[in-house]
Amino acid sequence: MIIEMHPDSSQAQVKEVEHKARSLKLDVQMNLGTSKTIVALLGDNTGQIDTDLFAVLPGVQSVTRVMKPYKLASREFKQDDTTINIDGLTIGDNRIIVMAGPCAVENKEQLMEAARAIKRAGASVLRGGAFKPRTSPFSFQGLGKDGLELLVQAKDEVGLPIITEVLDTQHVNLVSEYADILQIGARNMQNFNLLTKVGKTLRPALLKRGLSASVTEWMAAADYLLAQNNTQVSLCERGIRTFETSSRFSLDICSIPVVKQNSHLPLIVDPSHAAGHYSLVSSIAKAAVAAGADGLIIEVHPNPKEAMSDGLQALTPSDFARLMEELKPIAASLGRTI
């Protein structure tokens, strides 16, 4: 941590900074320049120390953190790529994993049709929402426990593991009885009680990036899961909120190499929520694979025109099958399979 003192700060103020640092067991190195005093604080844990503790001291002009504020999710903490094994399926390995299915589980017929279609096209995991976060209280909120049971029926029939969102601490136990992967949605990325409780289940989890979360905050949120000794954590980029409105969100394609450089966790990309419109999904999915994503999560609905939520961003089974075919040579060009 680097502390810049005001040009007119006093020696006593510099001493106070030093004193505070030593009380936190940090090493202190002074740089007394001609016009400025710079204090460097060194130690193993400076990433976890709040910069405000120093910024609030009189005479301090700025405080800059050099170490990252996340730890367990970082490549510095763990160099090798994390892989997650689910009944023989491996996330984070050479094979790009495709998760697909409807936004919401609506009924048995819809889910089964979707499950069969995505299995046929080569997807590895079935997605489907049982508890839905909806912007308006007047919208369809999901089937709840009935939806979870339909998901398990679909899993049994097509033989694919299932991923579904857990919205609330009170549902963690329930959802973890059914789901192979617990999804934490973008709106809950900083719901720290939920993260902790999901972490404690020791079940595979997928942490979506908050729609205004920086990459750094996202990694720090992953630390909440990892701090419970749950190592089966994947990340999911799903677009950030910007001024642009021609797509629903702006997929942060740059975050893909940034995350792969700075974290050992597998990275899945959700082109459907970023796009908000089916006609954009294929291009974004291809881009994500080309940029180095370890997987995709894509909305597929047997009949988007009749979908109860987010039909506009769902692919039809035939569009999804074509996309899967188009992704193969791109994966191959990177030395990967799909």
Q: Give residues 102-121 in contact with its own copies (rule: CB under 8 A).
A: none
**Using CA atoms, how far apart are residues 213 and 24, in angstroms rounded to an integer?**
29
Q: Residues 13, 82, 231, 247: which binds its own copies (CB under 8 A)? A: 247
What's the closest the beta carbon of residue 108 comes to its own copies, in angstroms? 22
Beta bridge partners of 64: 2
What is the CA angle 282-283-287, rounded to 5?
115
Q: Judged by CB under 8 A, does residue 243 bind its own copies?
A: yes
Q: Judged by CB under 8 A, does residue 122 bind its own copies?
A: no
Q: Residues 143, 198, 267, 274: which binds its own copies (CB under 8 A)? A: 274
What's the closest the beta carbon of residue 297 comes to its own copies, in angstroms? 16
- 15-21 contacts at long range (C-beta below 8 A, 24 or more positions apart): 16/57, 16/58, 16/59, 17/54, 17/57, 17/59, 17/60, 20/53, 20/54, 20/57, 21/54
Query: Binding to its own copies (CB under 8 A): which residues in 215-234?
Result: 215-217, 220-221, 223-224, 227
Residue (234 or 262) nearer to its own copies, CB: 262
Element (H, E) at 5: strand 2-5
- The total number of residues shown for the chain amounts to 338
Contact region for its own copies (CB under 8 A) — 33-41, 115-123, 150-158, 174-182?
33-41
**Using CA atoms, how far apart are residues 48 and 26, in angstroms rounded to an integer?**
12
- Which DSSP category does 227 fall into? T
Q: Judged by CB under 8 A, does residue 235 bind its own copies?
A: no
Residue (155 or 176) nearer to its own copies, CB: 176
**Using CA atoms, how far apart are residues 52 and 54, in angstroms rounded to an integer?**
5
Contact code string over 157-196 relative to its own copies, x by CB under 8 A:
----------xxxx----------------xx-xxxxx-x
Element (H, E) at 23: helix 11-23
Query: Binding to its own copies (CB under 8 A): which residues in 42-81?
Result: 42-44, 48, 50, 52-53, 55-57, 62, 64, 66-67, 69-71, 76
Q: Residues 22, 177, 257, 337: which binds its own copies (CB under 8 A)? A: 257
Q: Judged by CB under 8 A, does residue 24 bind its own copies?
A: no
